Structure 1
Amino acid sequence: MRLPEKVTGMEKAVSKIKDGASIMVGGFGVPGTPFNLIAELVRQGQKDLTLIKNDANEKDMGIDHLLANGQVRKLIVTHLGLNAHAIGLMNEGKIEVEFCAQGILAERIRAGSAGLIGFVSDIGIGTELAEGKQMVEMDGKSYLIEKALRADVALVHADSADAFGNLCFAKTARNFNPLMAMAADCVIAECEQCLPLGGLEADAIHTPGPFVDHVVAIDQLHEEYDIVRR
């Protein structure tokens, strides 16, 4: 059986994203954030987007360009603290923001990738994080029901990939990327090295190719990666 080749041009891959899409965006601060794919999404201008990301990057970086371009309707994040622009948009009611504890966000995504509808947790009880959520009693204790998260599209940044979409992430850039690559209907991976099939050692593969739909080879890292030193 011949495996499909998934290497796709940047413009064509990002054009798969439609107005109103929900998008998981990998990364934790700078490491693992798909800056090149974000820049193309800004250029194409899809609107009314829901972004699921650990953080909102910093002002004038990453997804802040989508916010500045008026493309975002809602953010699902763990914090906005490094982005005064995002905080301002939230306070002005120009975007909706849903906050999650960091581990809860990761587990909601993992649950979505596993086909679960949710899970229970005692984290956040009695705080604003519990507002609007259902509660259940188990063994005499109260728990919140946390809904699983899936998205229409996931954008991830890999250090290397092969033509079938097997992905390897570098060091801390691994963060949310593997989880998100299993929890979206369409996965687009930008990669620094695009290798032929068999070019990755089996033990180096963090995300298997069947989860990935499009591999985009980038000639050079986006300038916003310049602050990272490996």
Structure 2
Amino acid sequence: MSKVCSASEAVSMIRDGSNVASVGVIGWITPDSILKAIRERYDADGSPGNLSFYFPCGTGDSMGIRGMDWVAAPGLMKRIVSGSYVNPVNPQTGRRPELMRLIRENQIEAYSWPIGASMHWLREVARNSPGYMTKIGLGTYVDPRQQGGKLTDRSEEDLIRLVEFDGEEYLYYPTRKLDVGIIRATSADEFGNLSFEGEALMSSSLAIALAVKACGGKVIAQVGSVTGRRTRAVQEVKIPGVLVDHIVVDSEQMMVTDTHFDSAYLGGQSLDFSRLAPLPMGPDKVVARRAAREVPRKTVSIFGFGASSDAPLTMWEDGLFEGDKINDYWMTTEHGTFGGLVMSGWQFSANLHPEALLDGLSQFDFINGGNCKFAALAFAQFDSHGNVNVSRFGTFNPGAGGFIDIAHNARDLIFTGTFTTGGLVTDISSQGLSIANEGRVQKFVNNAEQITYPVMKNVRERGQTAKIITERAVFQVEPDGLVLTEIAQGVDVRKDVLEQMEFRPKRIAEELKTMESDLFKA
């Protein structure tokens, strides 16, 4: 009997109070039709309600591909556990995601886990283990001695515990039953064998299917088309049909935000970056260009979401990839794509013209094994104790994403971003940079609102190296504090740097360098 059915038929089997896991990486590989069908059923019937959702990472863009925002409704959603959250302003409505409002107004239970823990926890569910144990995240906001990953006051249950094993401390994530898994692929046969020939990522689809079936639950797969059984080579089929209960066909499913399909994200083509537009000249471009100077050759380099992911684009723009020189730069992201060019914005996560792909869980095995020696990450706050924050600040709750795993396991770290934010305006020329209007919000603060990673502690105790790169200054993170090492021409150290910090650097380098002039050329 065929497993193919409509989205409404597939979600009709979801019961009140179920635990539901769903794949998705921003706009990539998001089973939007199924998530939408859950919301439509709830709006019509008031069921299923009181659901707990597990999203290994932020799913959907909350606009054209709404993803997790479809199920963001009081009564429908009781709890959400996610590795990251999506918080853009919709250009058509001017509003931020409904899910963010529910979190701000304490209407649901909300937890933020590192994506690595979210992925590896699924493996422990799949093998019926009691839980996932790791040192990654100790001393951060997921540590129960801090917030324990909780985003709202309603989040009373401790989903993460501090335990001791062989005399050492670990974070422990107990497993629990998953009733429903929602995954996505490119095509299926009528038995449910799934292939990913049109997807740039695999993410957690297989891990979710294995975990849900180990719990005796049901797996719903969204695909773009159905093909005949035994019509594909076995190497193309990544998930066997025995793990799939229902197949929902959406022939219009988007590859990613603003892109129905683009084969350049699948590899197997000659390099062609002619479609790319240079970044507009501004402080973000200066930061990206300076960060690009740090990227090593023939070393696996991993780029996080945000300002750091602009660096590869400036490397292309400034001619660092001429000829076949791009082959000397081994770039990846936390979502498993290797080679080619790391993209930024809504296309972040997949690479343009990639050479290899790991599923999401295996990629975090790769990261946690210390294979990404160099990491470029963004920062929202850096405090006087040497802590960096990207996970919660002001009214924003983006979570850590892959940040904690990446930062913990890299050898050399750079953190990128503008010096201040909120209205920052600069004048940039070949002579350097001047501040036309200072940002309202300082990012170098006495105490970070949340600790995403204790940088200075790990520089001191584990021998990591770290730099902070901004449009006007560069700092080295030393074991005892920040050292100001570079300054942009045209910038006043006292007025534009020291007075824009809530704390003072430990010292200013004896030979304070001037940032290279070509960073500021249009």
With 113-122 and 101-110 compared, the bigger mean Cα shift is at 113-122
Would the aligned equivalents of 1:136 and 1:142 in 2 still touch at CA under 8 Å?
yes
1:100 aligns with 2:97: no
Choose from 22, 32, 41 the match for 2:19: 22
SS at match of 2:3: coil
Quote the Cα distance in structure 2 between the aligned partners of 1:228 and 1:70: 33
Q: Equivalent residue for 1:206?
A: 238
Choose from 179, 182, 200 the match for 1:155: 182
Would the aligned equivalents of 2:28 and 2:60 in 1 still touch at CA under 8 Å?
no
1:164 aligns with 2:191: yes
Question: 1:52 offset after TM fit, Å?
Answer: 0.9
Partner AA of 2:201 in structure 1: A
Q: Equivalent residue for 2:35?
A: 38
Choose from 103, 115, 119 the match for 2:128: 115
With 128-137 and 108-117 compared, the bigger mean Cα shift is at 128-137
Would the aligned equivalents of 1:56 and 1:77 in 2 still touch at CA under 8 Å?
no
Q: Give the superposed CA RMSD.
A: 2.2
Question: 1:225 offset after TM fit, Å?
Answer: 5.5
Question: 1:191 offset after TM fit, Å?
Answer: 1.0
Q: Deviations over 1:117-168 (max 9, x none)?
A: 2131011112231214333333432112222354211111110111111111
Q: Equivalent residue for 1:72?
A: 77
SS at match of 2:173: strand
Q: Using CA pairs below 8 Å that are at least 6 residues apart, which structure has the higher relative contact order?
A: 1
Choose from 142, 167, 184 the match for 2:169: 142
Would the aligned equivalents of 1:120 and 1:143 in 2 still touch at CA under 8 Å?
yes
Quote the Cα distance in structure 1 between the aligned partners of 2:36 and 2:132: 35
State the TM-score, normalizing by the size of structure 2: 0.41
Q: Deviations over 1:84-115 (max 9, x none)?
A: 43222112111111111111100001211122
Stretches of structure 2 lacking an aligned partner (at least 5 in a row): 43-47, 89-95, 145-157, 263-522
Q: Equivalent residue for 1:58?
A: 61
Would the aligned equivalents of 1:47 and 1:70 in 2 still touch at CA under 8 Å?
yes
Aligned pair count reads 227
Partner AA of 2:29 in structure 1: G
Q: Equivalent residue for 2:229?
A: 197
CA 138–117 in structure 1, closer or farther in 2 if over 3 Å, else same: closer
Alignment of 1:128-139 (within 5 A): 128-131=141-144, 132=158, 133-139=160-166
Quote the Cα distance in structure 2 between the aligned partners of 1:229 and 1:218: 14
1:173 aligns with 2:201: yes
Would the aligned equivalents of 1:76 and 1:100 in 2 still touch at CA under 8 Å?
yes
State the TM-score, normalizing by the size of structure 1: 0.88
Stretches of structure 1 lacking an aligned partner (at least 5 in a row): none
Question: 1:57 offset after TM fit, Å?
Answer: 3.1
Partner AA of 2:84 in structure 1: H
Would the aligned equivalents of 1:26 and 1:176 in 2 still touch at CA under 8 Å?
yes
Quote the Cα distance in structure 1 between the aligned partners of 2:204 and 2:177: 13
Would the aligned equivalents of 1:34 and 1:156 in 2 still touch at CA under 8 Å?
yes
Would the aligned equivalents of 1:194 and 1:217 in 2 still touch at CA under 8 Å?
yes
Quote the Cα distance in structure 1 between the aligned partners of 2:248 and 2:54: 21
Partner AA of 1:17 in structure 2: I
1:182 aligns with 2:210: yes
**Which has the larger Rg?**
2
Would the aligned equivalents of 1:28 and 1:176 in 2 still touch at CA under 8 Å?
no
Quote the Cα distance in structure 1 between the aligned partners of 2:36 and 2:82: 20
Quote the Cα distance in structure 1 between the aligned partners of 2:248 and 2:200: 21
Quote the Cα distance in structure 1 between the aligned partners of 2:87 and 2:106: 19
